């Protein structure tokens, strides 16, 4: 058993602060018990990890033992998490990539040892898995998924975990001797401790450039193997209000293959996103469309490589909803992403979308080709040079003329002494029938520090528009902002306490003030995990060019917000906030938001969230009479979620949302819309990487008079296979 294994320090002769991996000829059995002979022969390290929270810089209250092995196929990790109160350990049984409170252990690998990105593999006491890719700015991309193996076990003095990560799911240099960077994270739920093997002095939670070395890996080669994921699906939908039914079936294929040790290609043929949860209904009182979060795996994976200045690429444009409400089909797509020696990384994406017809006779959306490219050269620290190019092209079809939307951008940054960064970017767009135009930005900031400050400026010319492939809102403006932030870690009362403020000033290029606002905020987290936030905003007089046919001037206004919540590590947690004051379009507003989550037993999680937002007597343009009018609005939304876990591979999830929007103009009266939607999803990973989904859904739409019509009903099933070659 684990208690009998030798607990010794790192191998003598390893570089200071490094961890050594041992080659094994026999792969360990990944069952969580760590009783194989190969583990007994492997020296490891028993250490006290360092707390990021609640007591930054203090050692964790319970020690952890770490061991590392590898062979030509996998890298293996063994952990023993000592716990003096094992009866109080929380298992954290949850769907994949869904964090909940419990005992967790994670390994983070920077396989290029350049401080720019890392892989994360995480498992809980219940053997639930999470995996992600991290970037140097602290972003975690849980859209990235790999097929790897883990096992866990309870013991009288803690719990143990084993992981086997195939080298085929990693990308690393093509050299005989590997030097990677590594870090480990442990969550101890009883004391809300978040501990790390290496804790950065910058007080970033995962500061990749400071990870210690992982040495000893010799003679391994990156896999150029191929992964196939074919699928088949079926859908039945009964739109009762329209007296229409539809039954469809489909097949498709996703392919992943390694081109070199650092470059991966992904292909998709007739992709299907039917198992992805629908977007929640949201209120939008502004002039521009809402920016929606991407949920489709093909676009989420390695999405960090496609981050571009001025939002040149917004992946929800590909396969969007046509003007008639039908989804534009994606016929196929290809994506090549990777990193190579010398600090170069790149991403190329191409996708072809099909036509949308109205009544099978009238073409309403043309077929189009999307081409997206991003390349980056990394230098020391945060210095880099980037290039971006995007295009959307549709050819002459059924009376539609050829149309293209293209844009190009250069951006970069230079890191200076004292953690200071100077950055800049410039872009230009070309659209059919519109003059070309540009956008420009510069910035100066302090990074990786508890004291931060910044100043930046932006200009977007009138005809700059990347909405063919990206996301453009307001144009024809100049903007400048400056701010400062400071984080404290008082030893007695608070785990963290932070202050920050910002001043923003924006004008039209021809001179009218569009924004002159000041924001101040205080945030704190107590030692017991309870937290709060208080903020205030003041805005001077401004001009809104999009309100009505000629725009409108508005007076200054001020507002406040306050919120707080309980310890997020507890089985029951809540957060609530309220705000109000003068609305930016005149009149006043009030807002109440909140959420609660409860885990009554380890296999069941329930949560509820709500939002109540009201405006009173605002000055808005009423297009029906063609005049400015007093307007009042009310938005109410309640969302309920329930998840039941049969085991780490099988779960049942329920989602429901009720939303109601009411708008009343003095001259034209009241308009009301409401909706009740619900779905239940059964998900089963019947083999590693292979999934079965069964979804039932219903939507009740309001009739505008407070009543609901007959529900629309749907059933969807999908089966995927994971076939490594």
Percent share of the chain, pLDDT over 70: 95
> 722 by DSSP, 3-state: which?
coil
Cis preceding-peptide flag for 64 (omega within 30 of 0): no
- The answer to whether residue 704 scores a pLDDT higher than 90 is no
pLDDT digits over 141-160, tens only?
A: 887 888 999 999 999 999 99
Q: What are phi and psi of 310, to 5 degrees?
A: 60, 25
What is 64-103 written as a DSSP string?
Answer: EEEEEEE-SSEEEEEEEEE-S-GGG------STT---SS-
Provide the terminal-to-terminal Cα distance of the chain, rounded to the nearest Å. Answer: 36
Alpha-carbon distance of 148 to 724, in angstroms, equals 12
Residues 6+ apart with CB under 8 A from 630: 587, 617, 618, 619, 665, 666
Calpha distance 673→670 (Å, rounded): 10
Q: Is the pLDDT of residue 242 over 70?
A: no
> Per residue in 642-655, pLDDT tens?
999 999 999 999 99
Q: Dihedral of CA 313/543/515/512: which sign?
A: positive
Across 242-246, 298-302, 418-422, the highest mean pLDDT is recorded for 418-422
pLDDT digits (tens, 9 = 90+) for 64-89: 999 999 999 999 999 999 999 999 99
Q: How confident is the model at residue 566 (pLDDT cuts 50, 70, 90)?
A: very high
Which pLDDT score is estimated for 424? 98
Please give the Cα distance from 151 to 1 (Å, whole number).
15
255-314, pLDDT tens digit by residue? 988 887 778 899 988 887 654 556 677 777 778 787 777 877 788 777 888 999 999 999
User: Which pTM does this prediction carry?
Assistant: 0.86
pLDDT digits (tens, 9 = 90+) for 672-693: 989 999 999 999 999 988 999 9
- Tokens 């350990």 locate to 89
Report residue 606 CA to chain centroid gap. 22
Q: What's the mean per-residue pLDDT of the chain?
A: 90
Sorted by where each starts, the structural domains of the chain and their CATH numbers stand as: 2-218 (2.60.40.1190)
Q: Which residue has the higher pLDDT, 202 or 506?
A: 506
Please tell me the predicted confidence (pLDDT) of residue 491.
75
- What pLDDT does residue 515 have? 96
Give residue 505's pLDDT: 97
Q: What are the tokens at 296? A: 């489709």
| pLDDT value of residue 276 | 53
Mean pLDDT of 161-186: 92
pLDDT score for 532: 98
CA distance 168 to 147: 10
CA distance 661 to 364: 29
Q: What is the pLDDT of residue 295?
A: 73
Looking at residue 10, what is its pLDDT? Answer: 33
pLDDT in tens, 494-544: 999 999 999 999 999 988 999 999 999 999 999 999 999 999 999 999 999
Q: What is the DSSP string of 272-324?
A: --TTSPPPPP----SSS---PPP--HHHHTTGGGG--GGG---GGGTT-B-TT
Q: Please report the pLDDT score of residue 15 as a whole number.
A: 39
Q: How far from 191 is each of 88, 359, 445, 569, 602, CA to CA, in Å?
A: 10, 61, 36, 8, 18
Beta-strand runs (E) in 447-527: 451-460, 477-488, 494-508, 513-526
Check pLDDT > 90 for residue 710.
no
* Mean pLDDT to the nearest integer, 211-233: 88
Range of lowest pLDDT (40-54, 467-481, 628-642):
40-54
Q: Which two tokens stand for residue 401?
A: 């003329």
Angle at 256 between CA 250 and CA 261, to 5 degrees: 175
Q: How far apart are CA 506 and CA 517, in angstroms?
A: 9
Give the residue with greater pLDDT, 136 vs 134: 134
> Which of 95-99, 121-125, 268-272, 293-297 comes out lowest in average pLDDT?
293-297
Percent of the chain with pLDDT over 90: 67
Average pLDDT over residues 375-393: 94
Q: Check pLDDT > 70 for residue 606.
A: yes
The torsion region of residue 67 among left (phi > 0), alpha (psi -120 to 50) and beta comes to beta
Give the pLDDT band of residue 1 (cuts 50, 70, 90).
Answer: very low
- The region of weakest confidence among 16-25, 27-36, 176-185, 282-291 is 282-291
The DSSP secondary structure of 110-154, one letter per residue, reads ETT-SSSEEEEEEEETT--EEEEEEETTS-EETT-----EEEEEE
């Amino acid at each position: 058993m684990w208690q009998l294994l030798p607990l010794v320090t790192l191998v003598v002769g390893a570089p200071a602060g490094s961890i050594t991996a041992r080659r094994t000829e026999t792969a360990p059995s990944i069952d969580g018990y760590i009783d194989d002979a190969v583990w007994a022969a492997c020296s490891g390290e028993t250490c006290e990890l360092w707390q990021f929270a609640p007591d930054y810089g203090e050692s964790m209250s319970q020690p952890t033992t770490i061991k590392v092995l590898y062979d030509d196929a996998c890298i293996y990790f063994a952990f023993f998490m000592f716990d003096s109160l094992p009866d109080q350990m929380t298992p954290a049984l949850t769907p994949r990539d869904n964090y909940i409170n419990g005992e967790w252990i994670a390994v983070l690998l920077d396989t290029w040892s350049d401080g720019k990105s890392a892989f994360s593999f995480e498992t809980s006491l219940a053997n639930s898995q999470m995996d992600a890719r991290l970037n140097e700015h602290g972003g975690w991309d849980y859209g990235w998924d790999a097929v790897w193996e883990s096992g866990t076990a309870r013991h009288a003095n803690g719990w143990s975990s084993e992981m086997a990560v195939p080298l085929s799911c990693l990308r690393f240099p093509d050299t005989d001797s590997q030097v990677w960077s590594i870090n480990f994270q442990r969550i101890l739920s009883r004391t809300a401790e978040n501990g790390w093997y290496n804790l950065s002095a910058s007080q970033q939670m995962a500061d990749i450039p400071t990870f210690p070395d992982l040495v000893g890996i010799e003679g391994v080669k990156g896999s150029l193997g191929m992964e196939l994921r074919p699928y088949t699906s079926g859908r039945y939908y009964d739109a009762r209000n329209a007296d229409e039914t539809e039954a469809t079936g489909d097949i498709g294929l996703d392919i992943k293959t390694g081109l070199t040790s650092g470059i991966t290609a992904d292909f998709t043929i007739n992709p299907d996103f039917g198992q992805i949860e629908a977007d929640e209904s949201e209120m939008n009182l502004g002039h521009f469309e809402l920016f929606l979060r991407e949920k489709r795996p093909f676009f989420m994976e390695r999405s960090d490589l496609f981050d571009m200045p001025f939002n040149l690429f917004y992946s929800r444009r590909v396969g969007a909803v046509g003007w008639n409400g039908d989804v534009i089909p994606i016929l196929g797509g290809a994506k090549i992403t990777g990193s190579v020696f010398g600090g170069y990384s790149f991403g190329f994406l191409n996708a072809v979308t099909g036509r949308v017809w109205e009544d099978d006779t009238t073409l309403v959306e043309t077929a189009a080709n999307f081409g997206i490219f991003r390349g980056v050269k990394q230098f020391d620290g945060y210095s880099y040079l980037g290039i971006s190019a995007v295009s959307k092209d549709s050819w002459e079809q059924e009376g539609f003329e050829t149309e293209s939307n293209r844009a190009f951008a250069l951006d970069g940054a230079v890191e200076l002494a004292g953690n200071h960064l100077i950055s800049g970017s410039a872009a230009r767009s070309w659209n059919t029938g519109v003059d070309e135009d540009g956008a420009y930005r510069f910035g100066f900031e302090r990074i990786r520090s508890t004291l931060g400050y910044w100043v930046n400026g932006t200009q977007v010319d009138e005809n700059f528009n990347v909405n063919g492939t990206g996301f453009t809102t307001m144009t024809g403006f100049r903007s400048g902002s400056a701010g400062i932030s400071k984080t404290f870690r008082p030893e007695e009362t608070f785990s963290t306490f932070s202050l920050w403020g910002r001043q923003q000033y924006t004008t039209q290029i021809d001179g009218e003030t569009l924004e002159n606002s000041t924001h101040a905020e205080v945030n704190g987290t107590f030692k017991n995990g309870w937290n709060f936030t208080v903020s205030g905003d003041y805005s001077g007089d401004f001009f809104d060019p999009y309100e009505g046919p000629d725009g409108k001037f508005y007076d200054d206004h001020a507002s406040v917000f306050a919120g707080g919540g309980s310890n997020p590590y507890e089985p029951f947690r809540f957060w609530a906030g309220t705000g109000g004051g003068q609305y930016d379009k005149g009149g006043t507003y009030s807002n109440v938001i909140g959420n609660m989550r409860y885990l009554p037993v380890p296999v069941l999680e329930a949560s509820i969230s709500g939002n109540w937002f009201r405006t009173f007597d605002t000055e808005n343009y009423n297009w029906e009479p063609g005049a400015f009018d007093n307007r009042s609005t009310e938005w109410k939304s309640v969302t309920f979620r329930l998840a039941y876990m049969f085991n780490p591979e099988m779960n049942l999830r329920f989602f429901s949302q009720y939303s109601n929007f009411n708008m009343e103009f003095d001259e034209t009266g009241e308009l009301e819309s409401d909706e009740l939607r619900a779905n239940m999803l059964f998900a089963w990973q019947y083999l590693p990487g292979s999934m079965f989904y069964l979804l039932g859904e219903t939507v009740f739409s309001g009739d505008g008079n407070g009543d609901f019509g007959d529900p629309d009903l749907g059933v969807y099933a999908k089966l995927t296979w994971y076939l490594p070659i």
